[in-house]
Each structure stands twice: as structure tokens, then as C-alpha cells.
Amino acid sequence: MTYSSWIKQKRMAEMASDFINNVTHEFNTPLTTIRIGLTNLAVKVSKDDKLKMSTTLDTLMRQINRLDRLVNKAIDLSVFNQEEVSLEEHFLVELMDQLEQDLAILVSESATIQILVDQNVKEARVLVNPFMFVTAVNNLVDNGLKYNKERIKHIHIRLSIGARDTVVMTVQDNGIGISHNQLPYIFTKGYRGKQEASSNGLGLGLFFVKEVMRIHRWKIDVKSDTQPGTIFSISIPIIK
């Protein structure tokens, strides 16, 4: 085997390992959602509550399908190859409706999630991979709830029209925040800051978010400090 062949094989093995690690990480949030949903069903569902049961089951089924897709993508190492990812034209508000249903199951007495969509965003169409978009936003919400010591955890998601024909999505939490000296590294694969050192995880959630931004050619910014929480801002070009 030549040196160049060895380097190529080594690089392919690293790509496979990286991707499997990402897929493994992505199991965490949907599985947590399913567990919470099943708990709610066991406690709350009654004969007079069939409508709510149906909505919850629909949400759980979407999450199960999401897991199936993650497994399938473990076979396809080109998931983060921009040329291989399918981007579709969608009204962004339609994806937010689905996202709101998926996130609703995470709401509890100790966690609130609020989504606000400005009226002038409702007609905005964008090029997007729906699966990647929903998963990336789920990751941001999951981080905001996981790294949060407040008695009541708050997540605020807002969509508004930005400059130069863009929609700006902000995801804001009231969690422990990120210190200024750690901000440059939070999107690095495997990076886990001091605040996260005691938590489970591989440090891949924000890396996945950054890859989704790269593939879509969107821009993401973050503002944070050790208090009061973190704000992620995503700029999404509008189709004219």
C-alpha cells in the first residue's frame, strides 16, 4: 500500500467515525422526547382526552421516523456533502408549525418554549432541507434546556425579516451561558466547555448545527456570557 493510499483510507475511516458519532449524538434528543411523551400519555390520557392523545402519538411517530432517517444516514457518508444534500423550496412558517408541535411535548411546569413569527415572515420562502433544519433547531433548544439551572427554563424562538432579504431566527435561553473566552470554540467538533464538563454528551450538537449552516450557506452568530443565557441568530436568505 502506498503512503497516499494509506492517507486516503485513514481519512475515510475518520470520516466514517465522525459521522457515526454525530448520528449517535442525534439519537439523544428524539429519544428523550419519546420518553417524555410516553410518560405524559401514561399520566394524562383518559377516555375524554382522545384528541390530545392523537396529537401526541402523531408527534411520537414523527420522532420515530426521524430516528429511522438518522440510522439510514449512518450508511450514507455524504450527508454533510453539500452536493448530495437535497434543498427544497418551503414556506418557512410551515416548518415552524411542525417544529412547534415537536417541541410542545418538551413543555412542562419547569420548561416553557415560545415561538413568535412576525406577520411579514409568513410569505417568506427559503431553500432548506427540512430534516436538517428541524434537527438543528432541536439541538439549540436541547442545549438551552440541558445547560440551565433556573427553576423555570425559558426558550424563546423568534422569526423576523432582516436586512438584505433574509429571515432572522433567534433562539434565546435563560441558561448558564457561555463565557467569552469559550465562544470561539463552541462549534468545534468534540468541544465541551467547563460548564458542560459534568454533563453527558460528545460535544457534537453545535458542531452539527454549524455543518447544517455551512451546507445551507446560512450565517449563524452567538451572543452570550455566563449570565443571563445565550442567543443564537441565524440569517436565512429569502427566495425572491
The tens digit of pLDDT for each residue in 72-102 reads 555 444 455 555 678 999 999 999 988 888 8
| Model pLDDT for residues 130-170, shown as the tens digit of each residue | 988 998 998 899 889 988 989 999 999 999 999 989 999 99
Return the ∠ at Cα 211 (arms to 206 and 216), rounded to 5°. Answer: 125
Q: Which amino acid is present at 108?
A: S
**Assigned fold of 3-75:** Helix Hairpins (1.10.287)
Report which DSSP code applies to 152: S
Pairing of strands 88-91, 166-173: unpaired
Q: What share of the chain is helix, strand, coil (3-state, %, to 5)?
A: 50, 20, 30
Q: Which three cell numbers stand for residue 178?
A: 457561555
CATH class given for the domain over 88-237: alpha beta
Task: Let me know: does 165 contact 127? Beta carbons within 8 Å.
Answer: no
Is pTM beyond 0.85? Reply is no
Instruction: Judge whether 3-75 and 88-237 match in fold.
Output: no
Domain regions of the chain by residue span: 3-75, 88-237
Alpha helices in the chain (DSSP H): 3-44, 50-75, 92-104, 130-146, 205-216
